[in-house]
Chains A and B, each alone.
Chain A
Amino acid sequence: MDPKWNEDLPIYRQLRDRVVAMILEGVLGDGDALPSVRNVAAEYRLNPLTVLKGYQELVDEGLVEKKRGRGMFVTDGAQKQLLKDERQRFIDKEWPLVAATIERLGLEADQLLQEIKNKKSSKPGGKDD
């Protein structure tokens, strides 16, 4: 399978975003090893420097740490940190828009909560995405 690279963003940035998504989804957990630079380069036919640059971004953000001679590993608490950032971003950027829509449509908080509860109980386990 080939990844579709988006033309507007440098590939190293898109690699970084992909790893971030994997950490958020829990595919990569605390202490897990990232695939080696060589493997990623070969798999996606990218210059190894591009891969390294993407990984370096993650190191700079403190999400990934380099262990000499052993590769790159997800830092303890990386998912927590990312979730915290994502939650903050949602509250700052997305929630005001959603809240404005709710207000405009005259929806009540109780009614909305009930909707969510109904959805959850109709799907056992409540896990669907």
Chain B
Amino acid sequence: MTSLVSARNVSKSYGAVRAVDDVSFDIEKGCITGLIGPNGAGKTTLLKAVLGLTDCQGSLSVLGLDPFRQRKELMQNICFIADVAVLPRWIRVHQLLDFVEAVHINFSRERAEELLARTKIPAKAKVQELSKGMVTQLHLSIITAIDAKLLILDEPTLGLDIIFRKDFYSNLLGDYFDEERTIVITTHQVEEIENLLTDVMFINDGRLVLDASMDALPDQYVELLASSENADRARKLNPIFERDVFGKKVLTFEGISRDELTGLGEVRTPDIADLFVAKVKGATA
């Protein structure tokens, strides 16, 4: 099976700063991959490279194309919502539909209008008259009406209230996603997307520190909640990270069997947010 996105030793520097540093990964069709990283980790740069918006070193193939050199072809099958509002403020909703219809061969105006009819967005409104949540709804309606193979979401719910955020993901799964489509998503609100991911990648300082399927995480990572005395014994098993919770120690382990921790305390699978902290802080400690 050929991957939808395939990156080999991809790097990108801005002057002396290596924003993306020797990154290799594959993304398969039908996956929802979360790209998680702190601010300035290189997430957006990596996504820009995948979208062909920036050149890079190494080899990068998206839908079998070179994104930087074959961007025009790529754009027919790829969609993108950025963390910054990119819709022009002066444009009216119906004009925006006219525009997308004219430039995008895979856009279904009928579908977009059907989706917009479910919102409170008036067709004659200008983008600047809409609330932030509505602009995101408008954006998602347009994107959902495009028959694209790959959708890239860069902090799509930033600044939205909780109701809009929930609706956004519900609509994404209900109206857009199917096994023929693939989604890459970055967000700081990890716990909101944790249950909808099939795969997760952590990026820190431009480097990929984790690339795993969600199904595999419970086998690879385990968290132990131990009393101080037991923690001393558990430390001999080389935890990658340790933190205090209500006077107990929480130790995170990588690549050890759960049996080894029997009798030392409560054992569980770390959630993505805790695992992220363990991988990123553990690496620098």
Interface size class on chain B is: 20 to 34
With a CB–CB cut-off of 8 A, which chain A residues contact B169?
45
Chain A residue at smallest Cβ distance from B269: A7
B174→A38 contact, CB < 8 A: yes
Q: Using A11-B195, A50-B195 as known contacts, say yes or no to A45 and B170 having CB atoms under 8 A apart.
A: yes
The main secondary structure of chain A at its interface with chain B is helix
Give A87 Cβ to nearest chain B Cβ, in Å.
Answer: 33
B residues 153-199 near A (Cβ < 8 Å) are 166, 169-171, 173-175, 177-179, 192-193, 195-198
A42→B268 contact, CB < 8 A: no
B174→A47 contact, CB < 8 A: no
A11-B192 Cα distance, complex, nearest whole Å: 15
B268→A47 contact, CB < 8 A: no
With a CB–CB cut-off of 8 A, which chain A residues contact B196?
41, 45-47
Residue in contact with B174 in the complex, picked from A8, A11, A39, A50, CB distance below 8 Å = A39
A7-B173 Cα distance, complex, nearest whole Å: 23
Give B175 Cβ to nearest chain A Cβ, in Å.
Answer: 8
The answer, yes or no, to whether B278 is at the interface (CB within 8 Å) is: no
The answer, yes or no, to whether B251 is at the interface (CB within 8 Å) is: no
With a CB–CB cut-off of 8 A, which chain B residues contact A47?
32, 195-198, 214
Give B49 Cβ to nearest chain A Cβ, in Å.
Answer: 26
Chain B residue at smallest Cβ distance from A42: B174
Chain A residue at smallest Cβ distance from B171: A42
Q: Using A7-B268, A8-B268 as known contacts, say yes or no to A49 and B198 having CB atoms under 8 A apart.
A: yes
With a CB–CB cut-off of 8 A, which chain A residues contact B268?
7-8
Mark contacts of B4-38 with chain A using CB atoms, 8 A cut-off: 1 yes-contact digit, 0 otherwise: 00000000000000000000000000001000000
Give B177 Cβ to nearest chain A Cβ, in Å.
Answer: 7
Residue in contact with A41 in the complex, picked from B166, B174, B192, B269, CB distance below 8 Å = B174
Give B193 Cβ to nearest chain A Cβ, in Å.
Answer: 8
A80-B32 Cα distance, complex, nearest whole Å: 39
With a CB–CB cut-off of 8 A, which chain B residues contact A8?
268
A46-B197 Cα distance, complex, nearest whole Å: 8
A43-B174 Cα distance, complex, nearest whole Å: 8
Chain B residue at smallest Cβ distance from A53: B215
With a CB–CB cut-off of 8 A, which chain B residues contact A43?
170
A58-B178 Cα distance, complex, nearest whole Å: 22
Closest 9 CB pairs of A and B: A42-B174, A42-B173, A42-B170, A45-B169, A41-B173, A47-B196, A46-B195, A45-B196, A47-B198
Give 17 A-B contacts (CB < 8 Å), ordered by A residue.
A7-B269, A7-B271, A8-B268, A39-B174, A41-B173, A42-B170, A42-B171, A42-B173, A42-B175, A43-B170, A45-B193, A46-B173, A46-B196, A47-B214, A48-B173, A48-B177, A48-B179
